[in-house]
Structure 1
Amino acid sequence: MDATQGDTRKELSPAEIGAIAHLYRGEVYRSTTWRTRLDTTTNWAVVTLGIALSISFSSPEASPIPLILVGILIIFFLMLEARRYRYFNVWRARCRWMETHFFAPMLHEGDLHLEDGWQRTLAEDYWHPRYHVGMATAMGRRIRRNYFWILLIQSVAYVGKLMVHPAPLTSVADLVDRAAIGPVPGAPVLAAGVLYCLTWALFSVWSQRSDARKAAHRPRDSSMG
């Protein structure tokens, strides 16, 4: 940001203040719309998991394979939701920026502090719109918020199915045998399941630590991202 250019304006006219207020309302509407879309993809994941649970536990002879196949859909919904979150985060960040640099100073001091150049940061975000978070960060955040529990229920249900159907488990060897899928032995299937769970768990932990590092180095007056 060019500090000299940020110092050229000292105040906003009443018409400009009104325009910013309307702009804020528009950004709140867009963030609310995209927030609703996030809930939609989460609902899809929950519903498909519920269907898989119903099919697999409908009878002792029912196959646990639906609980495996639903994992593909859950991953698809997670990626779709992460993409939507990146859009939502743009509108959310702009709203928060106006709240902390326009509304809060106006209410607290009656001074918008245009000399700080916050309005140029907002203008640049409109001139050159961009995502404020990466795809990996968005996926990690959605896992921590919602998908951790969905994936946990899926994994517990799959193991539970193998343990109780068609009869209560008597040995670890039986567990491995029941996990077999057609010509694929049970051991590789279980190993893939463990890798599946560990991958998303590690992804979530990495994302949380990455967010914590970014927050620690972010200026206190920044709310973009």
Structure 2
Amino acid sequence: MPVPSLQDSCYVNAMIHFYRGELGRIMIWRQRLDVTTTWAITSTTSIITVAFSFPNVPHIVFFFNLAFVWMLLWIEARRYRFYDAFRGRVRMLESHFLVPMISQSQQLLDGEWRRLVCEDLILPSFKITAIEAVARRLKRNYVFIFAIILVAWTLKVFIHARSPIDSVEHFYNALAVHALPAWIACVVYIGTILTVGFLVVYVSRRSSEEINEFSGGNASLWRI
């Protein structure tokens, strides 16, 4: 199969429209990611407001807050996998089509990238695993939401405790609410910290970021 030329107007126009279509697709999925994050922030803000406004509201309300945020994180991670799959096509076109067009280098247009794009169009596939998608969204946004929930939960226990808390044992006993034993609350509390910490470390070590913080020696060229 001959390699298309940069002077082939039909090929260039088709690729440009293809690129614009894929770019529009990932923008739609990117907007859907913002919706779940907004709901997580809104629900957390509302629950914290109610918890601290009414002393009679038990701190068990943060159980539901954590469950709801974890559910939103899973939904957002699923959406992120679709976004990342289509973003892979866009990055392929940017790297192997737009770069040769800008640099006017026919050699950069060669390679197996066209075959890979065709295979992905015929049989679309995810580029990252579900746990990696969860970890990425957690590191980007949700780690701060979980941190706020845990801090608010701790303050709620201290401020509205029936008796003063001056030791770890008293704090542990204060976690009990009616029929809910303290050990369950403690497991949820510590388990959330360990799970969030593990996922953040996991994605930091095994996954590359969507955009790098530094671009090497060329970073200074982009300063205004």
How far, CA to CA, are the matches of 1:119 and 1:185 in structure 2? 60
Matched, 1:75 2:70: yes
2:201 corresponds to:
205
Shift of 1:195: 1.3
Count of matched residue pairs: 205
Identity of aligned residues (%): 30
In the alignment, what sits opposite 2:215? none
Amino acid at match of 1:9: P
Tell me, in whole angstroms, the C-alpha distance in 1 between the residues paired with 2:128 and 2:49.
37
- Matching of residue 58 in structure 1 with residue 44 in structure 2: no
Superposition map of 1:140-159 within 5 A = 140-159=135-154
Q: How far apart in 2 are the matches of 1:200 and 1:187? A: 20
- The answer for unaligned runs of 5 or more in structure 2 is 209-224
Which of 7, 17, 23 lines up with 1:28 in the alignment?
Answer: 23
Could you list the structure 1 runs, at least 4 aligned residues long, displaced by more than 6 angstroms after superposition.
Answer: none
Structure 1 unaligned residues grouped into runs of 5+: 1-7, 213-225
- Cα distance between partner residues in 1 of 2:102 and 2:143: 40
Q: CA deviation at 1:166?
A: 4.3
CA distance in 2: counterparts of 1:187 and 1:46, whole angstroms: 28
8 Å CA contact 2:97, 2:109 repeated in 1: no
Shift of 1:165: 1.4
Q: CA deviation at 1:196?
A: 1.9
Q: TM-score, normalised by structure 2?
A: 0.85
State the distance in 1 between where 2:96 and 2:66 align: 43
Measure the CA separation in 2 of the matches of 1:69 and 1:105: 52
Q: Which structure exhibits the higher relative contact order, with contacts defined as CA atoms closer than 8 Å and separated by 6 or more residues? A: 1
1:116-155 to structure 2, matched below 5 A, reads 116-155=111-150
Q: Is the 8 A contact 2:82 2:126 kept in 1?
A: yes
**Aligned positions of 1:99-110 closer than 5 A:** 99-110=94-105
Q: 1:128 to 1:79 in 2, by over 3 A?
A: same
| CA–CA distance in structure 1, aligned partners of residues 132 and 204 of structure 2 | 9
Change (3 A) 1:117 1:172: closer
1:165 maps to a residue whose letter is H
**Contact 1:57 / 1:161 at 8 angstroms: preserved in 2?**
yes
Please, which of 10, 18, 21 is the counterpart of residue 13 of structure 2? 18
SS at match of 1:116: coil
Once the two structures are superposed, residues 94-134 of structure 1 have per-residue CA deviations (whole angstroms, 9 ceiling, x without a partner) of 11110110011111134264431221111111011111111
The answer (yes or no) to whether the contact 2:4–2:11 under 8 Å persists in 1 is: no
Give the conservation status (yes or no) of the 8 Å contact 2:22–2:89: yes
Could you report, residue by residue, the CA deviation over 1:150-208 in whole angstroms, capped at 9, with x for unpaired residues? Answer: 11100111011111114653333332222103223223421331012201211221122
**Matched-pair contact (CA < 8 Å) for 1:60–1:166:** no
SS in 2 for 1:197: helix
Find the aligned partners of 1:124 and 1:159 in 2 and give their Cα distance: 51
